[in-house]
């Protein structure tokens, strides 16, 4: 089945011949011109620096290195933004072909019932089960890496509520299908003015949801209540990192009803200390195999446990792209943006920077080979995850498989020893599994599903190397997407008017740092692995400009080194009475001034265009400086230790609830813990305060030049303190709002050593 993107006038065309989607090129001549002006100013600053480099020694050489790096980063940004593409989809046209819609497997991943409370997972699952898509074409699989009986119990209870919630949503066309979000939304508030019948129904549904929440809350407080019940016997001897596979069919749509409740399956893969479990990538591969022997849908959607479906038609929108291209097989996956609900006023922790990146960088990459895979809110073709290339897809995957008698043995070596998985994988790769509905008897595959979830199943197979989600990085999502692009596939970006998915952004100091460190670590790991974008461009089918786009995110961690050096330089100049910026009397003085003004006005306009305030823009600029010199720096250190064999990187889960702990009464204020990640920021504040005080008192070392530190260095030092204001406030905070004494002591020691170095350098 193929739907051609034939462009004809609607008044003359049959609805079946109308395109399901259109690619629209944004007009961005003004932005291109502005970016070129910034690039010209960066080059001018480098030329100025290079001309006088011989007369100023090491400090100017270091500044030249940093500014060269910033120029390189700007080239990567320009490349990514140059050709932005928007995809407009027409789900109403797809509805005319409702009988042709393919089945979709829905994957939800959770790992820790404490950091990721079950009620959050439950809301995500409910939003997926209630999607505007035939229920007999959907199957939802929940991966619980914590093997928690509370999570399983929550899903069992959620199913009971789903039988009420799904008909209610579809009867009254409720748009927000995550209950917790709906009952706190304007949609719920305005619903009270509708018919009395609706009012009675909505009150009843709300009471049932409140009862569900109470049950889950009680279970969290007393998980031992499940110990002696038959349904939970599989959890009786479970240890978090040592337990057997648990696969349970919570609900089976046996009657194959299009308006019923989709299949719901719970999966806790086996874990043993002697087997690496590969974090989220390993969990995703288990879900692929379990679903492969149960429903084997040609398309798969994966979301994190906190990323609920906010647009009930999101699957229809995605199918418009996956089925509506000129060559149905050319798009490997469809990525939706990560948007967030709730949040804190003025976004003090910088979550909006991801929104702006998705508004400008991602559509630009969409104009090359397609957006990166973001790990959540993404629709995949199963055959692509199985390693199929575009050329093989054109001939229904026959080249991918061996021929003759050895065909079954060849695919068994790739996919493992399960005969049913081998059969379903063969059907997927050969394109012969285009069934209309999900099977309605998935319970019969339960034993096999449990076997393919065992930790030893992947031994001597291609899982994690050529098939499925790839191992080798804590950013398994980007690595997997890179491998797909390297095979020659394209991807598409789906950003409907109503956000497709909404998630929970971390809003506390430690949570933000944990997330940023994990991203920087995983992305940098990709740069140094055998699947790096550079190698993929040379040896595979990754386009050169797509390679540059990947490099932009892969080197996030490396940016910490020049950023940290550049932030330290003004303090060094104040301490040694030297300078790195042009004096007011020089014509070159206007180069950095113009650069700073134009760059900041450009970024400010982007935030304003996205609907954010000036204060949100400032908070995000400030947090980008903080994370670059703290979390990203430790991400680099983690990768260095891994490369030299001293330690391995660890996937750190980000807390998904409303703060770090119950004592955080002011979630908008920066919080700290005793993690070493806070030492660089604390040390920078101490260093610049000390430098400014000594410069003001005239106690700094004698300069090596007749021209000492000037206005530029003082302003930059003050700007550093302004950017690191949360750390300055942290010196006077109490509890989690204050910087721990151990962190302050480490920072004082490092600043003392630096000042000693400055004095020695100025006397030599």
pLDDT digits (tens, 9 = 90+) for 624-641: 999 999 999 999 999 999
Q: How far is CA 95 from CA 91, 133, 285, 310, in A?
A: 6, 10, 32, 20
Please report, in range form, the residues annotated as the binding site for Mn(2+): 280, 304
Q: Is residue 502, in this structure, part of any structural domain at all?
A: no
Q: What is the pLDDT of residue 759?
A: 80
Q: What is the number of residues in the chain?
A: 764
Sequence-ordered strand ranges (E) for 126-173:
138-144
Residues 172 and 234 in one domain: yes
The answer to whether the beta carbons of residues 85 and 493 sit under 8 Å apart is: yes
Per-residue burial over 139-173, b if 16 or more Cβ lie within 10 Å, else e, is bbbbbbbbbbbbbbbbbbbbbebbeebbbbbbebe
Sequence-ordered strand ranges (E) for 496-582:
501-503
Query: Which of the residues 105, 132, 144, 145 is marked catalytic?
Result: 145
The secondary structure element, H or E, covering residue 412 is: helix 407-415
What is the arithmetic mean of pLDDT over 28-34?
A: 94
Angle subtended by helix axes 118-129 and 196-221, to nearest 10: 140
Structure tokens at 8: 């004809």
For 521-544, the pLDDT digits (tens) are: 999 999 999 999 999 999 999 999
Residues 68 and 109 in one domain: no
What is the arithmetic mean of pLDDT over 21-49?
A: 95
Q: What is the C-alpha to C-alpha distance for residues 100 and 111, in angstroms, rounded to an integer?
A: 36
Task: State the total domains in the chain.
Answer: 2
Please report, in range form, the residues annotated as the binding site for UDP-alpha-D-glucose: 116, 145
For 491-521, the pLDDT digits (tens) are: 999 999 999 999 988 777 788 898 899 999 9
Other Cβ atoms closer than 10 A to 596: 14
Residues 756 and 621 in one domain: yes
Residues 455 and 577 in one domain: no
Domain of 720, in residue numbers: 29-82+561-626+642-763
* Catalytic annotation present for 454: no
Q: Is residue 350, in this structure, part of any structural domain at all?
A: no
Q: What is the pLDDT of residue 396?
A: 61
The answer to whether the beta carbons of residues 245 and 454 sit under 8 Å apart is: yes
Angle subtended by helix axes 614-629 and 711-723, to nearest 10: 90
The answer to whether the beta carbons of residues 84 and 9 sit under 8 Å apart is: no
What is the arithmetic mean of pLDDT over 397-406?
A: 55
Q: What is the pLDDT of residue 33?
A: 97
Q: Is residue 743, in this structure, part of any structural domain at all?
A: yes
Residues 102 and 166 in one domain: yes
The secondary structure element, H or E, covering residue 249 is: strand 246-251
| Domain boundary pick from 437, 463, 494 | 494
Q: Would you give the end-to-end CA distance of the chain in angstroms? A: 77
Per-residue burial over 242-270, b if 16 or more Cβ lie within 10 Å, else e, is ebbbbbbbbbbbeebeeebbbbbbbbbbb
The answer to whether the beta carbons of residues 185 and 123 sit under 8 Å apart is: no
Using pLDDT thresholds of 50, 70 and 90, give the confidence band for residue 1: very low
Using pLDDT thresholds of 50, 70 and 90, give the confidence band for residue 6: very low
Query: Which of the residues 132, 347, 454, 477 is marked catalytic?
Result: 477
Q: What is the pLDDT of residue 199?
A: 84
Please report, in range form, the residues annotated as the binding site: 116, 145, 280, 304
Q: Is residue 23, in this structure, part of any structural domain at all?
A: no
Task: Write down the mean pLDDT value for the chain.
Answer: 88
Q: What is the pLDDT of residue 344?
A: 85
Q: What is the pLDDT of residue 9?
A: 37
What is the arithmetic mean of pLDDT over 166-174?
A: 94
Structure tokens at 633: 């720096």
Using pLDDT thresholds of 50, 70 and 90, give the confidence band for residue 664: low
On the question of pLDDT at 388 being above 70, the answer is: yes
Q: Is residue 317, in this structure, part of any structural domain at all?
A: yes
What is the arithmetic mean of pLDDT over 331-336?
A: 97
Q: What is the C-alpha to C-alpha distance for residues 133 and 502, in angstroms, rounded to an integer?
A: 19
| Domain boundary pick from 475, 494, 513 | 494
Residues 140 and 78 in one domain: no
Using pLDDT thresholds of 50, 70 and 90, give the confidence band for residue 742: very high
| Domain boundary pick from 441, 473, 494 | 494
Q: Is residue 753, in this structure, part of any structural domain at all?
A: yes
Q: What is the C-alpha to C-alpha distance for residues 38 and 33, in angstroms, rounded to an integer?
A: 9
Find the DSSP H helices in 437-529.
446-452, 476-486, 509-527
The answer to whether the beta carbons of residues 671 and 510 sit under 8 Å apart is: yes
Q: What is the pLDDT of residue 10?
A: 37
Other Cβ atoms closer than 10 A to 565: 16
The answer to whether the beta carbons of residues 391 and 383 sit under 8 Å apart is: no
Give the range with max mean pLDDT: 271-285, 432-446, 504-518: 271-285
Residues 170 and 229 in one domain: yes
Q: What is the C-alpha to C-alpha distance for residues 552 and 541, in angstroms, rounded to an integer?
A: 19
Q: What is the C-alpha to C-alpha distance for residues 485 and 365, in angstroms, rounded to an integer?
A: 12
Q: Is residue 656, in this structure, part of any structural domain at all?
A: yes
The secondary structure element, H or E, covering residue 568 is: helix 560-576
On the question of pLDDT at 41 being above 70, the answer is: yes
Please tell me which residue, 535 or 757, carries the higher pLDDT value: 535
For 195-241, the pLDDT digits (tens) are: 678 888 999 999 999 999 999 999 998 877 776 677 888 888 888 88
Q: What is the pLDDT of residue 546?
A: 98
φ/ψ (deg, to 5) at 757: -65, -40
Residues 69 and 140 in one domain: no
Residues 290 and 428 in one domain: yes
* Catalytic annotation present for 145: yes
Q: What is the pLDDT of residue 242?
A: 87
What residues pair up with 626 in beta bridges, in sequence order? none
- pTM for the full predicted model: 0.92
Residues 100 and 75 in one domain: no
Q: What is the C-alpha to C-alpha distance for residues 382 and 427, in angstroms, rounded to an integer?
A: 11
The answer to whether the beta carbons of residues 250 and 156 sit under 8 Å apart is: yes
Residues 98 and 68 in one domain: no
Q: Is residue 5, in this structure, part of any structural domain at all?
A: no
Residues 274 and 395 in one domain: yes
What is the arithmetic mean of pLDDT over 418-431?
A: 89
């Amino acid at each position: 089945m193929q739907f051609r993107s034939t462009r004809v006038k609607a008044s003359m065309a049959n609805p079946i011949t109308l395109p399901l989607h259109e690619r629209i090129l944004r007009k961005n001549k003004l932005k291109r011109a502005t970016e070129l002006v910034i690039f010209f100013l960066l080059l001018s600053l480098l030329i100025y620096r290079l001309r006088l480099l011989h007369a100023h020694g090491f400090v100017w050489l270091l500044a030249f290195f940093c500014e060269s790096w910033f120029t390189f980063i700007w080239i990567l940004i320009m490349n990514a933004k140059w050709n932005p593409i928007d995809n407009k989809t027409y789900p109403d046209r797809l509805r005319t072909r409702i009988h042709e819609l393919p089945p979709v497997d829905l994957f939800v991943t959770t790992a820790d019932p404490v950091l990721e409370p079950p009620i959050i997972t439950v809301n995500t699952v409910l939003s997926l089960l209630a999607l505007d898509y035939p229920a007999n074409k959907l199957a939802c699989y929940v991966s619980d890496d914590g093997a928690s009986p509370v999570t399983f119990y929550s899903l069992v209870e959620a199913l009971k509520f789903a039988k009420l919630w799904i008909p209610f949503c579809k009867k009254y066309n409720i748009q927000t299908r995550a209950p917790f979000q709906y009952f706190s939304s304007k949609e719920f508030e305005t619903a009270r003015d509708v018919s009395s019948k609706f009012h009675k129904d909505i009150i009843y549904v709300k009471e049932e949801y409140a009862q569900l929440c109470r049950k889950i809350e009680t279970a969290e407080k007393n998980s031992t209540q499940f110990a002696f019940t038959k349904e939970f016997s599989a959890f009786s001897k479970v240890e978090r990192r040592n337990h057997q596979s648990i696969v349970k069919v919570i609900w089976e749509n046996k009657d194959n009803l299009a308006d019923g409740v989709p299949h719901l399956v719970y999966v806790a893969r086996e874990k043993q200390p002697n087997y690496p479990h590969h974090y989220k990538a390993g969990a995703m591969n288990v879900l692929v195999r379990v679903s492969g022997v149960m429903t084997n849908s040609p398309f798969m959607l994966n979301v994190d446990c906190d990323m609920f479906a906010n647009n009930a038609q999101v699957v229809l929108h995605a199918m418009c792209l996956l089925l509506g291209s000129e060559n149905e097989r050319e798009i490997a996956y469809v990525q939706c943006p990560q948007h967030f609900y709730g949040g804190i006023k003025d976004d003090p922790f910088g979550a909006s920077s991801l929104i702006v990146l998705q508004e400008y960088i991602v559509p630009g990459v969409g104009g090359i080979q397609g957006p990166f895979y973001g790990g959540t809110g993404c629709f995949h073709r199963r055959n692509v995850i199985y390693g199929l290339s575009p050329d093989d897809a054109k001939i229904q995957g026959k080249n991918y498989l061996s021929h003759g008698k050895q065909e079954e043995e060849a695919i068994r070596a790739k996919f493992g020893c399960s005969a049913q998985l081998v059969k379903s994988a063969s059907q997927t790769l050969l394109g012969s599994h285009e069934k209309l509905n999900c099977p309605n008897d998935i319970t019969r595959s339960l034993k096999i599903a449990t076997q393919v979830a065992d930790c030893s199943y992947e031994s001597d197979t291609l899982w994690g190397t050529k098939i499925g989600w790839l191992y080798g990085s804590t950013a398994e999502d980007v690595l997997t997407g890179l491998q797909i692009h390297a095979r020659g596939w394209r991807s598409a970006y789906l950003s409907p008017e109503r956000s497709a998915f909404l998630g929970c952004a971390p809003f506390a100091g430690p949570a933000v740092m944990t997330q940023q460190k994990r991203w920087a670590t995983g992305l940098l790991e990709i740069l140094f692995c055998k699947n790096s974008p550079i190698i993929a461009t040379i040896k595979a089918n990754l386009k050169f400009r797509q390679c540059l786009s990947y490099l932009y995110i892969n080197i996030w961690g490396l940016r910490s080194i020049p950023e940290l050096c550049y932030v330290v330089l003004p303090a060094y100049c104040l301490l040694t009475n030297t300078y790195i910026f042009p004096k007011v009397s020089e014509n070159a003085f206007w180069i950095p001034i113009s650069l700073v003004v134009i760059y900041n006005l450009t970024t400010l306009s982007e935030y304003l265009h996205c609907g954010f305030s000036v204060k949100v823009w400032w908070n995000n600029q400030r947090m980008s400086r903080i994370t670059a010199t703290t979390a990203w720096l430790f991400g680099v250190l983690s990768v260095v230790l891994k490369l030299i064999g001293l330690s391995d990187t660890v996937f750190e889960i980000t807390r998904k609830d409303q703060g770090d702990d119950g004592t955080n009464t002011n979630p908008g204020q920066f919080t700290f813990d005793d993690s070493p990640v806070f030492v660089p920021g604390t040390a920078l504040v101490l260093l610049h305060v000390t430098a400014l005080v000594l410069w003001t008192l005239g106690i700094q070392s004698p300069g090596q030049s007749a021209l000492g530190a000037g206005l530029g260095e003082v302003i930059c030092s003050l700007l550093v303190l302004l950017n690191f204001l949360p750390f300055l406030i942290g010196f006077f905070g109490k509890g989690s709002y204050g910087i721990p004494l151990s962190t302050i002591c480490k920072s004082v020691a490092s600043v003392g050593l630096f000042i000693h170095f400055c004095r020695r350098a100025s006397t030599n």
